[in-house]
Structure 1
Amino acid sequence: MRVAIAGAGNVGRSIARELLANDHRVLLIDRDPGAIKPDSVPGAEWLLADACEVDSLEEARIDRCDVAIAATGDDKVNLVHSLLAKTEFAVPRTVARVNHPSNEWMFDEVWGVDVAVSTPRLMCALVEEAVTVGDLVRLFSFRGGRTNLVEMRLPTDSPIVGRRVGDLAFAGEAVLVAVIRDGVASSPQTDAALEGEDELLFVVNPDAEMELAEYLAPGVHRERVANEDDVDVDPER
């Protein structure tokens, strides 16, 4: 697989090293001469150019790439690069870094972004995942938010504790993709029974997240909703 990475800073170079370690071909693009450091990522191709210019992307032969990654520290650059890669060069898959959470809403298919990676949101999700039981935590969004990867640490009093995975019909056609028990992840087995404190990872449509949460932990879910409804919001504040 050939991957183009716009932005040869610390983030871009780290991504490049991981991809090279997995036997992919990588091209790093940056307009700052100081960022061009071939010795820092042996095996990568390098191009001193503006990743938001059509001529530069033609020179990079980005149309021959399977993936275009926008990894700069500037959200505007990441959006423009993704849009050009998708609409002008028909790159099959685009991944864009979101630097500021307030801009996250723009990183969708309209701007040519297949996958948006928001570091602040991801860190917040990981904190929630570590400390909450019975709450559905969104870890990642795919394809402009139409499908999400979510996680729940199963409460011990969940109605599905002790039941076989094969006997369960998860709400909203959610797909159980992994069960983490005692820190060890495994693919869900039809005959395996779920236990309290299991961490369950699902791929689910965002519209079905609340229904899934109610199915997995109805008591916790209803209590949280009730508490939210009881909050007295002062419109002057």
Structure 2
Amino acid sequence: MRVTIAGAGAVGRSIAGELLANGHSVMLIEKDGRKVRTRAVPGAEWVQADACEVTSLEEAQLATSDVAIAATGDDKANLVFALLAKTEFAVNRVVARVKEPRNEWLYTEAWGVDVAVSTPRVIAALVEEAVTVGDVVRLMSFRKGAANLVEITLAEDTPWVGKPLREVPLPRETVLTAILRGERVITPSPDEPLESGDELLFVAHAEVEEQLQAVLAPGTAGAL
């Protein structure tokens, strides 16, 4: 997969390093020459240019990318890059970093953003996920499809503990993606029995989150 990252600060370089380690092709676009540190991410292609300029993105051949990531420290720049990537260069997937939480409302499909990542929101969700049992905790929103990545930790009194997944009447538009059990990551299968303390990760439509909680934690239904 070919990924283009706008912004080669600490965040952009870290993302690039992770993607390269996973075998992807990465291009970093950075306007500030002081941040062009090719030795910091030696496997990446580096372009010193303004990621908010159409001509610069044309020269960088952004249209050949499968994913574009707006990772600068400026919300305005991230939104402009996201919009150009989606509307001018038809990049399939656009992920954008939210610098200031108060600007998160702008990061929508109207600005070309498929997934918005707000560090404060992610950290808050992870804190909730760590201490909350029986509640549906929203970890991330996928705005293009109105779906969310959500987690629910099974309590001891959950009626489905000890029963296989195939017996659980999950709502429509809900996909169980993984079960976290201690240090194990389990790929869901119909015959997998559920255990107390299991952390279930779902991709679900926002409208069915309350139904999901009603099924897996009936004692807390209506709390959403």
Q: What TM-score, normalized to structure 2? A: 0.95
What letter corresponds to residue 189 of structure 1 in structure 2? S
Tell me the residue number matched to 1:37: 37
Identical-pair percentage: 59
Which amino acid in 1 is paired with 2:31?
R
**For 2:188, what is the secondary structure of its paired residue?**
coil
Give the letter for the 1:109 counterpart.
Answer: E
Aligned-pair distance for 1:171? 2.1
Corresponding residue SS for 2:208? helix
**SS of match in other structure, 2:73:** coil
* Equivalent residue number for residue 80 of structure 1: 80
Q: What is residue 229 of structure 1 aligned with on the other side? A: none
Counterpart CA distance in 2 for 1:31 and 1:133 is 46
Cα distance in 2 for partners of 1:110, 1:57 equals 20
Amino acid at match of 1:90: A
Query: Is this contact kept in 2: 1:66–1:93, CA < 8 A?
Result: yes
* 2:189 paired residue number: 189
3-state SS of the aligned residue for 1:38?
A: coil
Indicate the structure with greater helix content. 1
Cα distance in 1 for partners of 2:209, 2:177 equals: 15
Q: Which residue of 2 aligns with 1:65?
A: 65
Extract unaligned runs of 5+ from structure 1: 226-237
Runs of 4+, deviation exceeding 3 Å: none
> Please, which moves more after superposition, 35-44 or 169-178?
169-178
| Whole-angstrom distance in 2 between the partners of 1:172 and 1:212 | 9
Output aligned runs, 1:1-237, within 5 Å: 1-144=1-144, 146-222=146-222, 224=223
Contact 2:169 2:215 in 1 (8 A): no
Aligned residues: 224
The C-alpha deviation readout for 1:165-206, integer Å capped at 9, x for no partner, is 011221244111111112311011211221211111111000
What per-residue deviation string (whole Å, max 9, x for no partner) do you get for residues 12-35 of structure 1? 001111111122221111111111
Larger Rg: 1
Q: Provide the secondary structure at the position in 1 that maps to 2:69.
A: strand
The letter of the residue matching 2:174 is A
- TM-score scaled to structure 1, two decimals? 0.90
Per-residue Cα deviation, 1:58-79 (whole angstroms, up to 9, x for no partner)? 1111111111110011111111
